[in-house]
Structure 1
């Protein structure tokens, strides 16, 4: 219980002052006077009695569920892919549940980032939870990163968007070797060349090299 009105802010009360109590939200009066009196420096006994009020079920929340931890309040939790709109806690008052039920709305994402020299599909104004977009690059550019992004629980696309880079490797520098077969410059993504040693030399390592993209997004030659 609490004091009514401005009395709750006072520190001292003159002799003969009367103050009133009221039951807190979630509690109801079961009898007894709500008024006490200051008499010669002593308050009269508090007769008001307040006990917890238990309400019936608050109803059903679509795409979520309700827990009743105390009987005087409930907590709504939304299912995966949904977020709460409204108050998650509502108290059981004198007239029943105090307030209206919140709702669980499906999580949506704004369109994912635009990538230079690339595009994604499908293109929509909003995307639902777990909906996937696929990135692709223009001719002559190679995708570096994840091709697929999905709408996550926090309303953003994950993982980070890829990049579209133009892969072009320089001429391999291999001493005492000669080109046998494969691509000719300019060397683009996945271009391969094969070398063999000149007379009098033995090869160490692979004979075929492939133009790839390393983990830093730079171009280089890699042995197969």
Structure 2
């Protein structure tokens, strides 16, 4: 019994130990061509930070003339690397997407083509940028489309569903909403649409009407009505019977005694 209990404890404890060991896995010293780093070690424990810089004519693969990288679960936060000074680092273009190089930098003369996010459009229809001697030129700007909409208006007693919050929506966007418990809308349509920069107005969420039922009252009224009907019917039948009986007696022949005949 004790051995079985001990085995169960080990099964629970062992995965946690393995996870802790993998989380604390050390990093090997990076291979850095055209530069040097410090401190100089063969291995670096988890969380250790090293600094590096590059030789003349080269630069780190991140901003600055020196850079830092941190050992995180056996890997460096970015691979220390020295690139040509004429190369370009990834450009910063808000609300735009472009194809990124896997090595994290772009050679001199490289051209990228951008696509603006939904709700934005390229200013002046410019969609390309070129790397020249370490600097990007003709960088496109994505600005809000005049046909786009901002965040949907707040709908009382409702919440937007199936949609993450965002500040910009492209033209013709649709968002659905759902009323809180106790509220409903007329009809099945519970959506609003972005039309030419303005959100349409959806049906409001209204409190559901409450219907008070009085079982005893309804039942009593029905019974009384029924009894009244029965009473009327009973009276009518009784009256009909009495009248019929009277008519029968009137229609029967009269009997006379022998004395009366004499």
Structure ranking higher in strand proportion: 1
TM-score by length of 1: 0.33
- Bigger radius of gyration among the two: 2
TM-score by length of 2: 0.29
